[in-house]
Every structure is written in structure tokens, then in C-alpha cells.
């Protein structure tokens, strides 16, 4: 059963709304929700954009999202860090590398779309943030890509912001998407002449890079069937194709006949396929990710598969573990 839910947020300016910091989430009764009709009109006077109001008004909160198990796992003052062995398709070959997923809850200012770090009053929501770091060499030189995505902790909630930075020995590229009104506002910066500096809008549809976060919050919210979707920024960066809305067919099946895992699969109309295998039960750990597509240039172009398989997961307040004595934690994660 899903309970109608208008919002859960922190805004000290509104006396009618409880102040819900990350710590308060741990103490919420399991089925204590707010759904006051007058709340939208009040919020509209407190610097909330119409896009955030729409998001709040249309959101629902699954009861299991705020179970004690959920709160104990995601609001314990630590991040979840997982390492994956990576076989990355690039230049018509497959290269060994590693992928790191860092999931952590934090407060996110909805007016400025940044992490809330001060006591300055301002509207904010609790989000699950994913930092994904992908590293691999291609022969002599290296690639490193890092993305961040911020998703409110509601069933069916859509992400508010995404960034990607890409570095290799040729140069750097950067992309940022922000929810504005009912669209994605996109800023793209590249060292390639044909791409250069671009600013444009995209339809507010599902974004491929938010799928891992949606799986971790509530995989039942994943859409199936024919859908519009924005492909991963990593894919468009490597292929040098326009960053735009595409069409794909999504399905959920058993992963390799493993009873404990499901597979969420996307088949794009251009022939590319993407899949995520994850545990059926909470905390819905993502065990592997795969992408099949044409890769390479000229005569070397062929169908190749990129595969990431989970190696190790730990929980840590990593932001406090920056001393030489903390280096063994890297070995524990089997980092290269």
C-alpha cells in the first residue's frame, strides 16, 4: 500500500511544518505523514519554485521507505561505499578498471540546489546522493569520470540535480542538469571544438543515471514498457552524440535465473542495451551493471559489452578518514 504524501522537508520559516533533519528521520513513527491541503499555497510564498511544488504535490511515500530498517541503514551517520571490478568498452577494445559507488543521505537546498551546510534558513529536502567514480586506462593514458545525482527520499520522486565531470589526457568536459519548472536545464562544457559551450533545455523525463538511486530507494517505482529516457552522460560523452531524449523499452525479470535478484533492463531503439542486477530485498544492493553497444571508430567499430561486478561494500564516515592511518580502508575496499 502506498500512502498519499505531500512532502517531508525542513524549513524553519514555516511553523506549521516540523523541522525534519536527517537525525529526526530516525525518530519518525513508521506511519506519521503530513498531507495538509493548504501546504502548497503556504510553500508558494516561501521561495519554492513551481517545479519543486509540483514534485512535492505529485509525490507519494511508500510505507517501507521509513521503516526502522530503512532509517537504521541510511541515517546512521555513515555512507555506503561499494567497489566494482570494471571492464570498460572504449576504442573498440575492453579495458580493465574500477567503479566506485558512494551512497549517502544529506540535506539539499531546493532553492539553490546545493548541499545545505549552514544554519541560514532556507527550504531543503533530504536526498539520497550517489557519487559514482569510474577509472580505467586506455593504453598509455587514463580516463576518470565522476558523477553526482541528488534524489529525494520519496517513492516515484525524480532527481533534482545531476553533474558529470570527465578527465582524460586530452582534456576535461563537464555537464550539469538542474530541475527548472517542468524541464531539465542543461549546461555542457567541452574541450572539443564541435561541442564547446552549450546551454539548452530537455524534457523532464527519466534519466538513465538516476536509475541506481531509484533502485536503492524503491525498485518498484521503476517504470516499465515503452518510455522516453535521457541516456547516460557517460555514453553520450564517449560516443560524441547529442545529449537528448531517446526511446527505450524497460522490463524487470529475474537476473540470470538467480531467485534473490532482479534485473532491470533497458533496450534502446538505437540497439544499445543497459541492465542492472540488484537484490530483491532491502537494501536492494546493486550486484552488477552491463551495457552493450557499438564501440570504436571506423573498421574497428563492433558490438562490445561493458561490465561492472560488485567486489566489496563497507559503511564509513569517509569524510573523517583522511589520514595516513586510514589507508588500510582502501585495501579493505580492494581499490586498485
Q: Mean pLDDT for each 10-residue chunk of the chain (336 residues)? A: 35 34 44 36 44 46 64 94 98 97 94 87 91 97 97 84 96 94 93 88 95 95 96 95 96 93 98 98 97 92 97 96 94 90
The answer to whether the beta carbons of residues 211 and 277 sit under 8 Å apart is no
Tell me what pLDDT residue 35 has.
Answer: 35
The pLDDT value given to residue 305: 98
Question: Rounded to whole angstroms, how far apart are CA atoms 267 and 115?
Answer: 34
Q: What is the pLDDT of residue 195?
A: 82
- Report how far residue 123's alpha carbon sits from residue 11's, in angstroms, rounded to the nearest whole number: 5
Report d(CA 172, CA 166) in Å as an integer: 6
- pLDDT value for 300: 82
pLDDT, position 275: 98
Pairing label, strands 114-115, 124-138: unpaired
Residues forming beta bridges with residue 319, ordered by sequence position? none
40/67 Cα distance (integer angstroms): 26
Tally of CB atoms within 10 A around 63: 15
Give the end-to-end CA distance of the chain in Å, rounded to a whole number: 44
The pLDDT, as a whole number, for residue 106 is 94
H/E element, 309? strand 302-316
Amino acid at each position: 500500500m502506498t500512502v498519499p504524501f505531500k512532502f517531508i522537508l525542513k524549513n524553519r520559516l514555516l511553523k506549521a511544518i516540523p523541522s525534519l533533519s536527517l537525525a529526526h528521520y530516525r525518530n519518525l513513527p513508521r506511519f506519521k505523514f503530513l498531507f495538509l491541503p493548504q501546504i502548497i499555497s503556504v510553500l508558494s510564498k516561501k521561495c519554492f519554485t513551481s517545479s519543486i511544488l509540483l514534485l512535492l504535490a505529485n509525490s507519494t511515500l511508500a510505507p517501507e521507505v521509513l521503516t526502522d530498517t530503512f532509517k537504521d541503514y541510511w541515517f546512521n551517520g555513515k555512507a555506503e561505499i561499494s567497489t566494482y571490478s570494471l571492464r570498460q568498452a572504449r576504442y573498440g577494445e575492453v579495458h580493465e578498471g574500477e567503479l566506485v559507488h558512494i551512497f549517502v543521505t544529506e540535506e539539499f537546498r531546493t532553492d539553490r540546489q546545493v548541499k545545505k551546510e549552514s544554519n541560514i534558513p532556507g527550504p531543503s529536502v533530504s536526498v539520497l546522493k550517489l557519487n559514482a567514480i569510474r577509472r580505467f586506462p586506455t593504453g598509455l593514458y587514463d580516463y576518470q569520470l565522476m558523477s553526482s545525482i541528488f534524489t529525494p527520499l520519496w517513492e516515484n520522486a525524480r532527481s533534482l540535480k545531476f553533474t558529470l565531470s570527465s578527465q582524460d589526457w586530452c582534456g576535461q568536459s563537464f555537464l550539469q542538469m538542474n530541475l527548472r519548472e517542468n524541464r531539465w536545464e542543461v549546461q555542457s562544457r567541452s574541450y572539443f571544438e564541435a561541442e564547446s559551450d552549450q546551454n539548452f533545455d530537455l524534457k523532464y523525463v527519466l534519466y538513465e543515471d538516476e536509475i541506481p538511486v531509484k533502485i536503492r530507494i524503491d525498485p518498484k517505482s521503476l517504470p516499465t514498457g515503452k518510455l522516453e529516457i535521457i541516456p547516460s552522460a557517460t555514453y553520450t560523452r564517449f560516443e560524441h552524440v547529442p545529449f537528448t531524449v531517446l526511446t527505450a523499452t524497460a522490463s524487470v525479470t529475474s537476473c540470470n535465473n538467480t531467485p534473490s535478484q532482479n534485473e532491470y533492463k533497458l533496450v534502446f531503439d538505437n540497439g544499445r542495451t543497459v541492465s542492472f542486477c540488484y537484490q530483491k530485498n532491502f537494501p536492494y544492493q546493486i550486484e552488477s551493471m552491463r551495457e552493450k553497444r557499438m564501440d570504436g571508430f571506423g573498421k574497428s567499430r563492433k558490438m562490445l559489452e561493458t561490465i561492472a561486478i560488485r567486489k566489496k561494500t563497507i559503511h564509513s564516515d569517509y569524510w573523517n578518514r583522511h589520514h595516513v592511518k586510514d589507508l588500510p580502508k582502501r585495501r579493505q575496499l580492494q581499490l586498485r
